[in-house]
Amino acid sequence: MRIAWLGTGLMGDPMARRLLAAGHEVAVWNRTAERTAAAVAAGARAAGSPADAIAGAEVVFAMLRDGPVTAEVLLAREPAPDLAGRAVVQMATIAHGESRALAAAVAEHGGEYLEAPVLGSIGAVEAGQLLVFAGGEPALFERLRPLLAVFGPEPLLAGPVGQAATLKVAFNQMIAGISAAFCLSLGIVRRAGIDVDLFMRLLRQSAFHTKSFEGRLPRYLARDYEHPSFPLALLLKDVELGLGEAARLGLDASGLEGVRALAAAGVERGLARADYGALYEAVDPAGE
């Protein structure tokens, strides 16, 4: 198929390249044009604007920073992209209301809309093992399922537009909360002079252990947040989305407010672009 891919960031770039490897024609656009280089080297066409990328496409994938950026790129750029007769697949983490508003706007422009956020790492992208879950019309989902299966083996339809977006926010706030809790436990152990290996040996035998702890522990111990898998600024954005969804649904999210404060403190320390493991710097600052 002829595909427009908007947003070649940490996840967007390898995802676009998977579509190329599957034999599709892909035009790529990114606000920072240099970040399209890997996809272009793999055979993509570099587009000069979103409208240029979309002009020859049957399907438009958007993997951009957030809801407002996605709306601006798809709807408010000049020249305006022509969405008529095209399917738009929105894959970023955005709010329920933002996704529904996008769906309505795309429909007004004559297009179809599917939200399809994903869970997984860059390694999972490269292996085609992302968890893909969609929100939208069943017929559109079935039509696009072969494309979504390029990213993960079992794409699922969560329900109408908004449901998959809400699921993704629920997952990401949980990732933030688990990470903050582990950072605090590790900080307690280290400041108390307890052997970290003993802590981890006991943790591995408990019901609380997750494999993410193993992958992130070296970063915390070395205070190394380079080469991010997910930047701290985006984690903060997703925590704020979680707070918004909780408020919309009438839930008490006071526990998440503390995680938001930690993420904001890390960003204020100049770690916005660092890996989200930099939460540890807010919990257990070096030299303090």
Q: Among residues 132, 160, 188, which one ends one of the domains? A: 160
Read out DSSP for 122-191? Answer: HHHHHHT--EEEEES-HHHHHHHHHHHTTT-S--EEEESTTHHHHHHHHHHHHHHHHHHHHHHHHHHHHH
Tokens for 220, please give them: 């915390």
Task: Note the pLDDT of residue 165.
Answer: 98
- Which CATH number does the domain housing residue 177 bear? 1.10.1040.10
Residues 37 and 138 in one domain: yes
CA-nearest of 84, 62, 59 to 73 is 62
Domain enclosing residue 127, as ranges: 2-160
Residue with tokens 């069943």: 138
**Number of structural domains found in the chain:** 2
Are 8 and 19 within 8 A, CB to CB? no
- Which CATH number does the domain housing residue 35 bear? 3.40.50.720
Task: Note the pLDDT of residue 288.
Answer: 64
Residues 277 and 226 in one domain: yes
Confidence of residue 129 (pLDDT cuts 50, 70, 90): very high
Q: Give a yes or no: residue 221 inside a domain.
A: yes
Residues 212 and 228 in one domain: yes
pLDDT of 287 > 80? The answer is no
Q: Among residues 129, 144, 160, which one ends one of the domains? A: 160
**Segment 253-283, tens digit of pLDDT:** 999 999 999 999 999 999 999 999 999 999 9
Residues 128 and 31 in one domain: yes
Tokens for 187, please give them: 């900080």
Indicate the pTM of the whole model. 0.94
**Segment 190-238, tens digit of pLDDT:** 999 999 999 999 999 999 999 999 999 999 999 999 999 899 999 999 9
**Segment 240-253, tens digit of pLDDT:** 999 999 999 999 99
Task: Note the pLDDT of residue 76.
Answer: 87
Residues 121 and 16 in one domain: yes
- Phi then psi for 160, rounded to 5 degrees? -70, 170
Q: DSSP code of 8?
A: -
